[in-house]
Chains A and B, each alone.
Chain A
């Protein structure tokens, strides 16, 4: 059973993948909620444009998204140069860049899921909360948020799964640097490119299946727990 033992490099890839995916989901969540709110509740000029931009990564080939990120967030790109100069943040060829790529790729799934649950929230309940003395922020925290929690959780799981499997945009934007940007998918890809790498690819594949199953079960469990609390009238 020796071939089942994971090497240090493989462990690194797994840890990196989990880190990148978790950071990607956590960092994109507030923006996802805001974008969903704007798309579900807002009426403003350019709403369809925003909708299009949010959904673009879903439609574009991942390589194109990665390339666009490289142009915008690379060291010489307009946003990348700004971040580097004023905030000292470098994304290109760093794991943070991988997290950004994963966040962008998972964003449409996150926003869609939250937006759908926002659309089903009964606005009359929010009116009722208002007449009971809650201002808009409190109405959101005490009524809207609990009611859309199942949608938020579903969106987070989807976006996490997308991040775990993300390959094209990541490898285009931050390349495939072991220990820095080589995520699980990239590591498997690398194994398949070298002679005798099949065993390593197989080990990581098994790990990927285990993580995916765990995420799926966790989402089922959470949806069940939340669903029990939130019975719609």
Chain B
């Protein structure tokens, strides 16, 4: 089911002017806060009426300002998961979960109640009140509530943003199961690289109300554009590979990339699985000679492809490691001292790697 969105909308001084299409799977709307991701999602859901534009889902026109079509939110059948769970306080968890069922059109079988409850691990909470749930539990119930309304698409607006790291880690696996076990396409709004790297198939990079780039996760998240459009601490490279071996005693998995191998701390993974790794650019050091006696597990040899200064004393160096681009963010001073230039052979010392199972 293709979702195509083409919107122009003014909110005070802010202008949203965005076109994109989503072909199913998980599409991430990605950008720093204030880039218009949430406004875009709200327009898709029908919570905002755009000044101009068209929104079409699988041939069904939801918005067409030229033809004066605007399908109200309750007829769009998009499940919306808000940043804060927004559970109904006067209903039990079960009442919240079954709320959308009353309004789902006849003939369409919503996802099985027991299946969704099992998928999200909320079976023990059914008779509780939302007020007695933790933040993570609330958000899981909110996801279940949206799923059980028989949505044509799930719209998730930073569902993890209001949670602490521990709760985020609690929910991410459920989102992965959701992606893998249900056929519902998802549009996922986030400003966190690691979430997007872990969940999305395609990324729409938004900056200041405009679409800067659209493409596969590894392309967009590794593009130098990212450094300018998101939080610099988040910038980095996303590489795809397969698990070549798992060293259980040392709790280390070996991931084979195009021509290099990475050693990543992880035990709950099997050899042969395709994975994605996220390497934050700030966690990559460069060395002109092969370093010895370092604790870092991953030292990749490569050649410098590009050097992009950010004007604030830092440079982003893209190192081509046998077909995989690794980004390093270092000071411009180090760049000068090491006499870095494109084509130079260099060693990238990777301090941390986050492994995302796919």
Q: Residues of A at under 8 Å CB distance from B? A: 122, 124-125, 127-135, 138-139, 142-143, 146-147, 229-233
Question: Taking the complex as formed, is B149 at the interface, i.e. its CB lies under 8 A from any CB of chain A?
Answer: yes
Cα distance A155–B74 when bound, in Å?
31
CA A134 to CA B88, docked complex, whole Å: 13
Q: Is the CB of B146 within 8 A of A132?
A: yes
Encode contact with A along B68-79: 1 for CB under 8 Å, 0 otherwise.
000011111111
**Is the CB–CB distance between B104 and A133 below 8 Å?**
yes
Per DSSP, are chain A's interface residues mostly helix, strand or loop, or mixed? Answer: helix
**19 A–B contacts, CB within 8 A, in A order:** A124-B82, A124-B86, A125-B86, A127-B86, A128-B80, A128-B88, A130-B74, A131-B45, A132-B79, A132-B99, A133-B74, A134-B103, A135-B72, A143-B90, A147-B89, A147-B90, A231-B130, A233-B87, A233-B131
Determine how close the nearest CB of chain A comes to the CB of B347; give it in whole angstroms. Answer: 51
- C-alpha gap A212/B99 in the complex (Å): 40
- Interface-central residue, A133, A146, A147, by most chain B CB under 10 Å: A133
B103 touches A230 (CB 8 A): no
Within 8 Å by CB of A142, from B73, B75, B77, B99, lies B99
When chains A and B are docked, how far (Å) is the Cα of A233 from the Cα of B137?
A: 13
Contact of A131 among B47, B84, B88, B89 (CB under 8 A): B47
Interface contacts (Cβ under 8 Å), in number, total: 77
Interface residues of B in 78-134 (CB under 8 A from A): 78-80, 82, 84, 86-90, 99-100, 102-104, 129-131
Query: A125, A129, A132 — which one has the most chain B CB atoms within 10 A of its CB?
Result: A132
- Please list the residues of chain B having a beta carbon within 8 angstroms of any beta carbon in chain A: 45-47, 72-80, 82, 84, 86-90, 99-100, 102-104, 129-131, 145-146, 149, 155
* A residues near B79, Cβ cutoff 8 Å: 131-132
Which B residues are CB-close (under 8 A) to A229? 90
Which residues from B are CB-within-8-Å of A131? 45-47, 73-74, 76, 78-80, 146, 155
Are A130 and B73 closer than 8 Å at their CB atoms? yes
Contacts of B74 in A (CB 8 A): 130-135, 138-139
In the complex, which residues of chain B have a beta carbon less than 8 angstroms from the beta carbon of A142?
99
When distances are taken between beta carbons in the complex, the residues of chain B under 8 Å from A231 are 89, 129-131
Contact B103–A133 (Cβ < 8 Å): yes
With contacts A127-B47, A142-B99 taken as known, whether A132 is within 8 angstroms of B145 at the C-beta atoms is yes
Chain A, residue nearest B131 (CB): A231
A138 → B minimal CB distance (Å): 7
B89 CB, min distance to chain A CBs, angstroms: 5
Which residues of chain A have C-beta atoms less than 8 A from B104's C-beta? 133
Contacts of B45 in A (CB 8 A): 131
Cβ-closest 9 pairs across A and B: A133-B103, A231-B131, A132-B100, A131-B80, A128-B86, A146-B90, A130-B73, A132-B149, A230-B90
- Give Cα distance in the complex from A134 to B129, angstroms: 21
Cα(A129)–Cα(B149), bound, Å: 11
Residues of A contacting B72 in the complex (Cβ-Cβ under 8 angstroms): 130, 135
A residues within 8 A CB of B73?
Answer: 127, 130-131
A136 CB → nearest B CB, Å: 8
Cβ A143 vs Cβ B88 within 8 A? yes
A143 to B46, CA, bound (A): 19
